[in-house]
Amino acid sequence: GAVVSQHPSRVICKSGTSVKIECRSLDFQATTMFWYRQFPKQSLMLMATSNEGSKATYEQGVEKDKFLINHASLTLSTLTVTSAHPEDSSFYICSARVDGNYGYTFGSGTRLTVV
Amino acid sequence: GDSVTQMEGPVTLSEEAFLTINCTYTATGYPSLFWYVQYPGEGLQLLLKATKADDKGSNKGFEATYRKETTSFHLEKGSVQVSDSAVYFCALRLNTGNQFYFGTGTSLTVIP
């Protein structure tokens, strides 16, 4: 079936540094990818939608200059958290829409801790 | 707006116990409803879904029925196993869009 590989699974970084999270579709082409995040005791919330070769669409309240999304190929989307701060500590997970009857597939998530 | 409210965990059960995880939703349109499961170190996997009222989704012994009158989609399993230990997410997606609305997730631990 369709698989999305997400890396890293866990990352700890210092405040003020940038962190890049990658999501790769392993056996299909992902025209559209979605980035979600989950703060403690809250729901997974959609941050942005990325389409290959075009600018991402961000949900209300998500800073596009802070969360840089690049979807330069049909198999790779990246989320870069720039100048990370402790309040960015969260669980980030990507998802891709799969054509046909496969629906949507999700990565394994990245636990980001900013210290 | 559209949202999902899910029973908070964590939930700890003995093997072969009955499981219910409650899920209710609010939707402005006509949603499809889902249960996703996340095993340790893995991605969210679709467990079951229902696309219209009164549909019952089932998989691996788990069941959930789309109840429009109570706006609910409770997950049940008659006899849980240790291998069912995971985090379970209830979600909805409007049939007009791509966005999922998730609950907070419920962590289930099944002890032998």
A6–B38 CB contact, under 8 Å: no
pLDDT at B44: 86
Q: What is the mean pLDDT of residues A8-25?
A: 96
- The DSSP secondary-structure symbol of A18 reads -
Cα A52 from Cα A83, distance rounded (Å)? 25
What region does B68 belong to: left with phi over 0, alpha with psi -120 to 50, or beta? alpha
Q: Name the more confident of A41 and B112.
A: B112
Nearest CA in chain A to B41: A108
Find the distance separating the first CA and the last CA of chain B, reported in whole Å.
41
Tell me the count of A-B CB pairs closer than 8 A. Answer: 52
pLDDT at B36: 95
Q: Which residues pair with A83 in a beta bridge?
A: none
pLDDT at A101: 63
B4–A43 CB contact, under 8 Å: yes
Residues of chain A with Cβ-Cβ distance to B104 below 8 Å are 38, 41-43
pLDDT at A36: 95
Quick one: which of A53, A26, A21 has its CA closest to A37? A21
Residues of chain A with Cβ-Cβ distance to B41 below 8 Å are 9, 108
* Average pLDDT taken over every residue of chain A: 92
Out of A42, A45, A106, name the one closest to residue B44 (CB): A106
Burial of A60 (C-beta count, 10 Å sphere; 0-12/13-18/19+): exposed
Cα A109 from Cα A36, distance rounded (Å)? 9
pLDDT tens-digit readout, A62-108: 999 999 999 988 999 999 999 999 999 999 999 998 876 668 899 99
pLDDT tens-digit readout, B95-109: 877 889 999 999 999
pLDDT at A115: 96
pLDDT at A31: 87
Quick one: which of B28, B29, B34 has its CA closest to B6? B34
List residues of chain B with CB under 8 Å from any CB of chain A.
3-4, 8, 36, 38, 41-46, 89, 98-105
A6–B43 CB contact, under 8 Å: yes
Cα A41 from Cα B35, distance rounded (Å)? 18
Residue segments in chain B with a per-residue pLDDT below the cut of 70: none
Alpha-carbon distance A53 to nearest alpha carbon in chain B (angstroms) = 19
Is the distance from CB of A75 to CB of A50 less than 8 angstroms? no
